[in-house]
Structure 1
């Protein structure tokens, strides 16, 4: 069995401290020693090292309201790096820029259907960045994104192209510095948000059924997002139900103004498929329908599911506030940036 080298041990300790500062906010050296179990010299060395690397800084003092010497508070340098999350959909584009600790630093929204989608995205990202360099940009859009090549199937959006990620990267090169850019299926990003800050927080296994202007599913098993070999995992919209694709059944939720009971009758068809194949234990109803239907719709779907499936499965509505796709894009960009910068 290999033992950790001194350099590896330092890297592990540094990341442990950085993750604690992300989760807890500014901490003193004694607090870091208590939370990490590391010795006084080890914590002293890592604080000096992280300050020299520009990753942390003294943000204040602890115990300013009592007599005696105060302990310094150490916090992360928020401006050490910035990221952007992008939600690309028909007729609109939404961008959020965040610093490395997740604070919103800029945003932009455009309503248009451009012929040159890549340039349109690049210009909007640059506007939201407002002169800041971006370490990572994550684009969320409809369509299957091949995890091996980054190429995507036709989403039906105006100006779409299979090499959209590469085209946006090239268009951004003339506007600002970006080190990392990835394209991800939008439902997968909504699934990331649900897993981190929504109804599936704390669950290692679950499926998100996305019910919005498109229909799809995201799958998390063993705590990891599963994309499939070609990016097609969770494409339940193509399911055939009595000669009608499931996505077309759900579109009637909006066009026909279906009552919740009728919507539940249709939704359970997709949920049953996810449960029969994956047995995730939890299905979250996301998108506009899941949010508007709330607990009442989730309960109706759960009742219908329990009558048809022996696998115990909780059904919950989404609890992600705001744009789940955009939040998932920012969270994914932050994960990639922190791994690159924090080690």
Structure 2
């Protein structure tokens, strides 16, 4: 068994303190000692190191009747780094830029463009008000290979090329990561939505496209080629699941038929994965709310012995954008905090 070196112990303590400051906001040295169990000298040393590294700064004092070093508040330097999340659709794109604490700095939207890389770069610059960004996470439709970041069969987005991430990275001088948009929505659902605190769940995305995402043992699962969760290809009544619930394809679709077809897709997920929870996301999932989720849960329960909750998404706002920003923050913090 390896014994932790002093340098390793310091790194572990520093990261623990930074994570606590991100979770709770500004804290005093005594509060950090209480949360970490570390000694007074150890906390004093790590605060000195983190301030010297430009990661932590003093922010006034805690309480009006307390003065001195123990009353001083310390917080993460929010402007130390910035990240961007991008939700790319066939009809345009939306960008959110956040600081290192996760606070939103700005947003921007653009319509479709043949110069997609240039459009994304311009939107990020607008949302960041000219600030440099460290990491950009692109959320896009399609089966995205987890190792090559190429899309199998294309995705119908105007101006899309396999070199898009590299082109955006070069334009912004930033790290750029490409991820399937439903996977990003699942990350947001896991961290801030209906699946918070769950190790296993599946997200069924019911929007202008139909897809899914899988989280098992607390980890997003992409599959060997990125196709995990692509339930839109499932056969439902002689057509694909994607088309079976699309009003443009089935204009006379009743609420009962929609519920039945969503239940069929949900049952297929449960039969293979037994996730214990299925979240209905996207426009239809959110609009259907508890009523649709409860009806689907009852239909599934009549067919499956596996006890499964079905709940609507509870992520506020754009789940894809939120998942993209969360992913970009994780990557940036791992780099900067190390």
TM-score normalised according to structure 1 size: 0.95
Asked if 1 retains the 8 angstrom alpha-carbon contact of 2:243 and 2:249, the reply is no
Please report how far the alpha carbon of residue 337 of structure 1 lies from its aligned counterpart in structure 2 after TM superposition. Answer: 0.5
Give the corresponding residue for 1:177.
173
Please report how far the alpha carbon of residue 305 of structure 1 lies from its aligned counterpart in structure 2 after TM superposition. Answer: 0.1
Tell me the secondary structure at the aligned position of residue 34 of structure 1: helix
Give the corresponding residue for 1:122.
121
Matches within 5 A, 1:293-332: 293-332=288-327
- Residue by residue, what CA displacement relative to the aligned partner does 1:289-336 show, whole Å, maximum 9, x if unpaired? 010000000000001000000000000000011111011100100010
Matches within 5 A, 1:146-161: 146-153=145-152, 154-161=154-161
Please report how far the alpha carbon of residue 257 of structure 1 lies from its aligned counterpart in structure 2 after TM superposition. Answer: 6.3
Asked if 1 retains the 8 angstrom alpha-carbon contact of 2:97 and 2:127, the reply is yes
1:76 and 2:72 equivalent? no
Please report how far the alpha carbon of residue 254 of structure 1 lies from its aligned counterpart in structure 2 after TM superposition. Answer: 8.7
Give the corresponding residue for 2:97.
97
Please report how far the alpha carbon of residue 253 of structure 1 lies from its aligned counterpart in structure 2 after TM superposition. Answer: 8.1
Please report how far the alpha carbon of residue 121 of structure 1 lies from its aligned counterpart in structure 2 after TM superposition. Answer: 1.5
- 1-side partners of 2:337 and 2:207: how far apart? 36
Matches within 5 A, 1:223-262: 223-252=218-247, 256=251, 258-262=253-257
Structure 1: tracts of 5 or more residues without a match: none
Please report how far the alpha carbon of residue 262 of structure 1 lies from its aligned counterpart in structure 2 after TM superposition. Answer: 2.0
- Residue by residue, what CA displacement relative to the aligned partner does 1:184-242 show, whole Å, maximum 9, x if unpaired? 00000000010011000000000000000110001000000001111110000011123
- 2-side partners of 1:28 and 1:294: how far apart? 42
Give the corresponding residue for 2:198.
203
TM-score normalised according to structure 2 size: 0.96
Please report how far the alpha carbon of residue 261 of structure 1 lies from its aligned counterpart in structure 2 after TM superposition. Answer: 2.4
Tell me the secondary structure at the aligned position of residue 158 of structure 2: coil
Change (3 A) 1:68 1:128: closer
Give the corresponding residue for 2:44.
44
Aligned residues: 336
Matches within 5 A, 1:127-142: 127-142=126-141
- 2-side partners of 1:67 and 1:169: how far apart? 48
Change (3 A) 1:78 1:254: farther
- 1-side partners of 2:21 and 2:328: how far apart? 19
Pick which of 189-198 and 243-252 moved more.
243-252
Change (3 A) 1:67 1:17: closer
Asked if 2 retains the 8 angstrom alpha-carbon contact of 1:84 and 1:97, the reply is yes
Asked if 2 retains the 8 angstrom alpha-carbon contact of 1:261 and 1:300, the reply is no
Please report how far the alpha carbon of residue 60 of structure 1 lies from its aligned counterpart in structure 2 after TM superposition. Answer: 1.1
1:194 and 2:189 equivalent? yes
Asked if 2 retains the 8 angstrom alpha-carbon contact of 1:150 and 1:163, the reply is no
Give the corresponding residue for 1:14.
14
- 2-side partners of 1:72 and 1:308: how far apart? 60
Asked if 1 retains the 8 angstrom alpha-carbon contact of 2:137 and 2:177, the reply is yes
Give the corresponding residue for 2:333.
338
Please report how far the alpha carbon of residue 103 of structure 1 lies from its aligned counterpart in structure 2 after TM superposition. Answer: 0.7
Asked if 2 retains the 8 angstrom alpha-carbon contact of 1:81 and 1:135, the reply is yes
Asked if 2 retains the 8 angstrom alpha-carbon contact of 1:118 and 1:168, the reply is yes
- Residue number among 284, 288, 300 corresponding to 2:283 in the alignment: 288
Change (3 A) 1:257 1:340: farther
Please report how far the alpha carbon of residue 68 of structure 1 lies from its aligned counterpart in structure 2 after TM superposition. Answer: 5.8
Tell me the secondary structure at the aligned position of residue 252 of structure 1: coil
